Amino acid sequence: MSQITAQLVKELRERTGAGMMDCKKALQETEANMEEAIQFLRKKGLKSVEKRAGKVAAEGTVFSYIHAGGRIGVMLELNSETDFVARSEDFLNLAKELAMHIAWSNPQYVSREEVPESALEKEREVFRSQLKPEQEKMADKIIAGKLEKYYSTICLLEQLDAKDPAAKKTFEDIVNEVSSKVGEKVQVRRFSRYEVGEGIEKVEVNYADEVAAVVAGAA
């Protein structure tokens, strides 16, 4: 069996945020294979999260973030089971990370469960219209695959963390990791994103013509 060094444990802690004893056990179980140890801890964390799925997360924080010199703003409600966890560094860092990502990526929904059936049906119609004749036999499978991609573009929890693309972690993975670390259910409830001028039809005004019209009217 490979030797479990303090440096290995330290590196695993830094990469996962797990406790020292959990990191040591993970390395022992995987014979000091770092990547396998990370997966071991993720699976353990998910089991912990699943046990807390029925818990009520009614505490938390409303976190605000302003980006791009005041041109983009985000308000996010992130919930926990207790106010103690809601004030913790891990929880607040997660809220900030989520809000910054929302400002950058502009997701439309928290999760796929929020996507209305009308929107899904519209996308199915678009995908079906793009099929080639030879793809008709596989239409349902192809459309299902395209819908998965669609979810990853519009749903916050299914988007990848752009800061660490090599890890290929979704924000659902990140929320679950924090939930496992703090020992409570952590849940993204809702968010709103605002951008200056969004939704306003911008009309280019020719001020020279306006001035000429005023002068002509006054003559």
The contacts of residue 109 (CB under 8 Å, 6+ apart) are 115, 154, 155, 156
Using alpha carbons only, give the angle 18, 88, 10 rounded to the nearest 5 degrees: 25
- For the stretch 24-78, pLDDT in tens is 888 888 888 888 887 887 777 655 555 666 677 889 999 999 998 899 999 999 9
pLDDT band with cut points at 50, 70 and 90 for residue 183 = confident
pLDDT of residue 109: 97
Percent of the chain at pLDDT > 70 equals 84
pTM above 0.85, yes or no: no
Q: Which two tokens stand for residue 37?
A: 């140890």
Please report, as a single letter, which amino acid is at residue 112: R
Which residue in the block uniquely carries the two structure tokens 């996507």?
A: 115
CA distances 111 to 25, 102, 135, Å, are 33, 13, 29
Q: In 10 A of CB 131, how many CB atoms?
A: 14
pLDDT of residue 11: 84
Cα separation, 175 vs 152, whole angstroms: 16
Cα separation, 148 vs 132, whole angstroms: 20
pLDDT of residue 117: 95
Contact 49, 72 (CB under 8 A): no
